A and B are shown apart, each in its own frame.
Chain A
Amino acid sequence: MKRTIHFTLNGAPVEADIAPHWNLVELLQREFDLFGARESCAQGLCGCCTVLVNGTAVSGCLFLAAFADGAEVVTIEHLAGGKLDPVQEAFLECGAFQCGFCTPGFVLMARELLRAHPDPDDDEIRHYLAGNLCRCAAYPEIVEAVKLAARNMRKGA
């Protein structure tokens, strides 16, 4: 039943024995103790399970682990250069979360947004992040944080 896959996880080459029905969240949790991508709705509708695969955000609950074979996988736990990135810093500064369960998904999607649109307006932010849900509804602070991160990144660039 099990098969071995090889992929890059947060910059390091890894391998794992997986069952064909595992999704990416299970793979990360069971084999690598990475819990930042979380299954919540299990329908790809809440964004809690967001993972970057080959630079694109996917819903880890709907993405079969087998498809990670040969891919480059980045999770919220990855800290480039060992420190928080401008998006994470802005989330802290603006208090853009409460319980924190949805936060990894928002941070990863905000990074994607800012890569594509370095200077987004409110409307672009709302539409880009509409697939991430926050039941604590820290939405006003999240929009504020994305704008702060954008400003700081443009300053740094």
Chain B
Amino acid sequence: MAAMGSGQVGRSVRRLEGAAKVTGRAEYVHNLRLPGMLYGKIVRSTVPHGRIRAIDTEAARALAGVHRVVTIADIRAVVPEPFYGPAFHDQPILAVDKVHYVGEPIAVVLAADPHIADAAAQLVVADYEELPAVYDEVEAMTSAAIVHDVLKPAGTFPDLKHLQGRHDTNVALDFHLRRGDLAKGFAEADHVFEHTFRTQQVLHLPLEPFVSVAEASGGADDGRLTIHTASQSPSFVRIEIARLLGWPENRVRVKVPYLGGGFGAKLYIKLEALVAALALVVRRPVKISLTMEEQFYTLTKHASTFRIKSGVKDGRITARQCEVWWNGGAYADIGPRITQKSGFTAPGPYDIENVHIDSYSLYTNLTPAGALRGFGIPQLVFAYESHTDMMARSLKLDPVEFRRANILREGRPQATGTLMQDAAIAAVLDRLAARMNWGKAFERGSGTTRRGRGIAIGFKASISPTTSIAIVNVAADGSATLYCSTVDMGQGSDTANAQLVAEVLDIKAEAVTVVHPDTDVTPYDMATLGSRSLFHMGNAVKLAAQDARDKIAALARELGLPEGSNVPVAELFQKKYKMQAGNIIGIGSYIPPYAPPDHDTGQTPNATPYWMVGAAGAEVAVDTETGQVRVTRLVNVADVGRPINPRIVETQLSGAAIMQLGFTMQEKIELDGGQIVNASLADYKIPSLLDIPTDIQSEAVEAEQQSGPFGAKGVGESGTFGVSPAIANAIDDAVGVRLTTLPLTAETLYRALRAAANEPLED
């Protein structure tokens, strides 16, 4: 690794906000109270699909202390077209005419006392004409139940502009990729394998539930709105709220302090349009804080079905056909982008000449689904890496060697035709195999405890094309402040960005102040998502710091100082202004190159600015009498480019892997007729310290992303990729039974064990 000039990059700097967090004094929206503020409690639909006949608010309004009960008619007085969304303008601020899922907001009760708002919300009664509903993503393809009468595409993102609204269909987007000659590839093969995999609907479940506050000021022509919100996308919120109101952007201010977790949930518009409209309706500040239960009615991860078919000749994959159905729930949110951006990596990190992909985003009558740490990739990797192992087992090939023979190497074209660059796939696989002691004998257990091990590797393209802009302000004493709209939701972006500034300006990272997103102050950033920030914002931050550094050098020249005279910055200002005054503003703006995929073939020479690579290895112990699986060892290896802060990188890798472990072993939203029956932490269990392996290892391989800031790229999701299939593969290795549906519960495995022994259990 090349030595860094200032030693700020590659150093495990303590988190800048650490002291505030360990003393409970970090700022979250949940702390915020404003004078005259009202609390809103949302009234939610009790049916999965129906026309609203009437909403009776009389009893609620009559309750002492209720300020107002608001329905869509009130909202429309301030927002005539109350539909929002990043891909489709399909989601109403409150239900319009129809409800599309259980839990959809239909009204809001406002009161100065949140307990009164809660009590009154229970008194609102709606009458529905129920309609047929559809919940399954594959059924939604052909179902007579149509979730939306008319589709309303947005045009917010350049790469979603081709979206066409359709009628009488639940397909929000279909993405297709055609490469080579699939029929020929299958004809050449000695063996053809086809498997179908399913993943379940799960929840982000940040411990800080969704929360937003809005305050309005001014009149009809000069009105302003300030929204304080736990959002990963302040710039999007500002633009979307301005669009809804028909206002210029500069009359909407969005402020974001720290987030108590995000994981993709707190993106685009969640509560922001609702609190903004309410603040305009009642002309008082309005706060809505969701309960844990209400998070289940806001956004989930896509359930999915993936049918994958491969042809193999002499240990080489000759053809692969992928059909993926994504369960998008009642509103598109960012689902169409997942369908495309994740869809094109469905064949996995393998060098396959003949590939077809058909990827469909479906509307169903469930809570909307959106991005969740991995953006669809963990669902895909579960399928293609389980499939890979099933083929290797059937062909009696070593799983590592089979992968090595087929892996996408540097410079080779991926399914889109884009050449692989700075993607350390082979190195990640090698390091994983080494850490798993793959070549060595493995203790396989005995009696009713059987042990097995498995590996898996996945990859992900970055989102593109997206923009980040940053400002670095050097004050007259030489201290530096960074202004950027990246949201620190726990991933450590404040600290990493400060390290980038410090590296360029040759100061200590701890001395850099990072101003939190405030759209009146910090410049535009697309959003904090998809592990894009360190690369995109990191490049912008580095450019801004370099711009400031260049301007400092120009100032020195202006003052007649010789090149390289190294006069302290404070003295330069003193010489120019004769006092401590002035500042230097450096600006950086970054957008990577990109070429959109061809609509019919999905082919493009530049699908992504960088690739993320993540692999996992698992060792398990299975109790054959109960189906209980204990993961005894979990190894994560990833290509993160060059780590800016090694400690934070390690925590990101293991944290992502443990989250995915929950999605693999225990988490599932349970439904009964469209109604979620486990919407609480009592019934929906996330991993605790007792649910994780005692042996967890994480490694970032030696790698460099040449186009990244100081060689770095994103790391937030890579730890999720391989976990689910590695464990499914390890279970198969232990007991010879293949599970193809997540989660891998004891009951599922026990049923499969009994079925394999020809003694199936009754349902």
**Chain A residues close to B by CB (< 8 Å):** 21, 29, 34-38, 40-43, 45-46, 48, 75-77, 79, 84, 88, 91-93, 95, 97-104, 107, 122, 125-127, 129-143
How far apart sit A97 and B686, CA to CA, in the bound complex (Å)? 17
A137/B655 in contact, CB under 8 A: yes
The winner among B12, B208, B291, B687 for most chain A CB atoms within 10 A is B208
A3 vs B18: C-alpha distance in the bound complex, in angstroms? 38
Closest to A76 in B: B24
Nearest CB of chain A from residue B687's CB, rounded to whole Å: 7
Decide yes or no: A137 and B681 within 8 Å by CB, A95-B648, A101-B207 being known contacts.
no
B694 touches A91 (CB 8 A): no
CB < 8 Å neighbour of B31 from A35, A107, A122: A35
> Can you name 29 A-B residue pairings with CB atoms under 8 Å?
A35-B25, A36-B23, A36-B24, A37-B24, A38-B260, A40-B209, A41-B681, A43-B681, A46-B681, A92-B18, A95-B12, A99-B207, A99-B259, A101-B207, A101-B208, A101-B260, A101-B261, A103-B21, A103-B24, A129-B689, A130-B688, A133-B686, A133-B688, A134-B207, A135-B206, A135-B261, A135-B659, A136-B659, A138-B651
| CB proximity of B678 to chain A, nearest CB, Å | 13
Q: Least Cβ distance of B155 to chain A in Å?
A: 33
Q: Which residue of A lies closest to B488 (CB)?
A: A99
Interface membership of B59, Cβ < 8 A = no
Interface stretch of the complex, out of B49-57, B79-87, B489-497, B554-562: B489-497
List B615-660 residues whose CB lies under 8 Å from chain A: 647-648, 651-652, 654-659
B648 touches A36 (CB 8 A): no
Q: Are A138 and B655 in contact (CB under 8 A)?
A: yes
Q: Does the CB pair B207–A135 fall under 8 Å?
A: yes
Interface residue ranges, B against A (CB under 8 Å): 12, 14-15, 17-26, 28, 30-31, 115, 205-209, 258-263, 291-292, 489-492, 647-648, 651-652, 654-659, 680-682, 686-690, 692, 694, 696
Classify the interface of chain B: helix, strand, loop or mixed: loop
Is there an interface contact between A88 and B22, defined as CB atoms closer than 8 Å? yes
Q: Which residues of B contact A43 (CB under 8 A)?
A: 292, 680-682
Chain B, Cβ-Cβ closest to A75? B24
* Pair B31/A84 contact, Cβ less than 8 Å: no
The answer to whether A35 touches B655 (Cβ under 8 A) is no
Chain A to chain B: the 5 pairs with minimum beta-carbon distance, closest first:
A36-B24, A99-B490, A101-B260, A100-B21, A98-B490
Q: How far is the CB of A24 from chain B (nearest CB, A)?
A: 14
Closest to A29 in B: B31
Q: What is the CB-to-nearest-CB distance from B398 to chain A, in angstroms, rounded to a whole number?
A: 30
Min CB gap A36→B, angstroms: 2
Tell whether A107 pairs with B658 under 8 Å between CB atoms, given A40-B292, A101-B208, A135-B206. no
B234 to chain A, nearest CB (A): 17
When distances are taken between beta carbons in the complex, the residues of chain A under 8 Å from B15 are 92, 95, 97
Q: In the bound complex, what is the Cα–Cα distance between A105 and B229 (angstroms)?
A: 24
In the assembly, what is the distance between CA of A37 and CA of B647, in Å? 27
Interface of A is mostly: loop
- Roughly how many angstroms separate A45 CA and B17 CA in the complex, as a whole number? 26
Known: A95-B14, A99-B207, A99-B208. A137 touches B22 (CB 8 A): no
Report how far A77 CA is from B28 CA in the complex, Å: 15
A65 to B425, CA, bound (A): 56
> Could you tell me if A35 and B28 are in contact, using CB atoms closer than 8 angstroms?
yes
Chain A proximity of B469: nearest CB distance (Å): 25
CB < 8 Å: which of B262, B647, B651, B681 contacts A133? B681
Evaluate contact between A122 and B694: CB separation under 8 angstroms: yes
- New contact pairs (20) apart from A99-B261, A136-B261, CB-CB < 8 Å: A34-B24, A38-B28, A38-B207, A40-B292, A41-B292, A79-B23, A92-B14, A95-B648, A97-B21, A97-B490, A98-B261, A100-B20, A100-B22, A100-B490, A104-B22, A104-B23, A126-B690, A134-B207, A135-B263, A135-B686
Given A21-B115, A95-B12, A95-B651, residue A103 in contact with residue B22 (CB < 8 A): yes
Asked if B25 and A139 sit within 8 Å, CB to CB, the answer is no
Residue in A36, A101, A134 whose beta carbon sits within 8 Å of that of B25 in the complex: A36
In the complex the two chains form, what is the Cα distance from A76 to B292 in whole Å? 23
CB-defined contacts of B22 to chain A, threshold 8 Å: 76, 84, 88, 91-92, 97, 100, 103-104, 107
The answer for the CA separation of A122 and B695 in the assembled complex, in Å, is 11
Residues of A within 8 A of B492 (CB): 98
Q: Which chain A residue lies CB-closest to B656?
A: A137
Inter-chain contacts of A129 with B (CB < 8 A): 689
A1 CB to nearest B CB, Å? 11
Known: A35-B24, A40-B208, A76-B23. A140 touches B696 (CB 8 A): yes
Residues of the A chain whose Cβ atoms lie less than 8 Å from the Cβ of B491: 98
Nearest-neighbor residue (CB-CB) of A79 within chain B: B23
Q: How far is the CB of B676 from chain A (nearest CB, A)?
A: 16
Q: Cβ of A101: which chain B residues have Cβ within 8 Å of it?
A: 28, 206-208, 260-261
A41-B680, A99-B490 known; A143+B19 contact, CB < 8 A: no
**Smallest CB gap from B696: residue in A:** A140
Complex Cα–Cα for A38 and B658 (A): 23
Contacts of A95 in B (CB 8 A): 12, 14-15, 647-648, 651
A41-B680, A100-B258, A100-B260 known; A140 vs B654 contact (CB < 8 Å)? yes
CA distance A125 to B692 in the complex (A): 13
Cα distance A42–B208 in the bound complex, in angstroms: 12
Q: A127-B690, A129-B689, A140-B696 are in contact. Are A100 and B19 (CB under 8 A)?
A: no
Chain A residues whose C-beta falls within 8 Å of the C-beta of B652 in the assembled complex = 98
Note all chain A residues with C-beta closer than 8 A to B656: 137
Contact partner of A100 among B17, B31, B659, B690, CB < 8 A?
A: B17
- Specify the chain B residue showing the minimal Cβ separation from A103: B21
B655 & A136 in contact (Cβ 8 Å cutoff): yes
User: Which chain B residues lie closer than 8 Å to A29 at the CB level?
Assistant: 31
Residues of B within 8 A of A76 (CB): 22-24
Q: How far is the CB of A30 from chain B (nearest CB, A)?
A: 8
User: Judging by beta carbons under 8 Å apart, are B208 and A38 in contact?
Assistant: yes
- A46 partner residues in chain B, CB cutoff 8 A: 207, 681
In the bound complex, what is the Cα–Cα distance between A132 and B17 (angstroms)?
21
Residues on A with beta carbons closer than 8 Å to the beta carbon of B655: 98, 136-138
- Pick the most buried of B115, B261, B263, B657: most chain A CB atoms within 10 A of its CB: B261
From A143, which residue of chain B is reached at the shortest CB distance?
B689
Inter-chain contacts of B26 with A (CB < 8 A): 100
* Complex: A100 Cα to B206 Cα, angstroms: 11
Closest Cβ of chain A: how far from B74's Cβ, in Å?
A: 29
Q: Which residue of B lies closest to A125 (CB)?
A: B689
Q: How many angstroms from the CA of A125 to the CA of B688 in the assembled complex?
A: 12
Which residues does chain B contribute within 8 Å of A136, judged by CB atoms?
261, 490, 651, 655, 659
Enumerate chain A residues within 8 angstroms of B647, measured Cβ to Cβ. Answer: 95
Question: Contacts of A97 on B, CB cut-off 8 Å?
Answer: 15, 18, 21-22, 490
How far apart are A55's CB and chain B's nearest CB, in angstroms?
A: 18
Check A139/B23 contact, CB under 8 A, given A43-B680, A130-B688.
no
**Can you name the residue of chain A whose Cβ is closest to the Cβ of B682?**
A43
What B residues does A34 contact at CB under 8 A?
Answer: 24
**Residues of chain A lying within 8 A (CB to CB) of residue B24:** 34-37, 75-77, 103-104
**How many angstroms between the C-alpha atoms of A29 and B33 in the bound complex?**
10
CB-nearest residue of chain A to B697: A140
Q: How far is the CA of A45 from the CA of B260 in the complex (A)?
A: 17
Chain B minimum-CB-distance residue to A142: B689
Given the complex, which residues of A lie within 8 Å of B31, measured CB to CB?
29, 35
- What residues of chain B lie closer than 8 Å to A79, measured between beta carbons? 23
Q: Which residues of B contact A134 (CB under 8 A)?
A: 207
Closest to A137 in B: B658
**CB proximity of B657 to chain A, nearest CB, Å:** 8
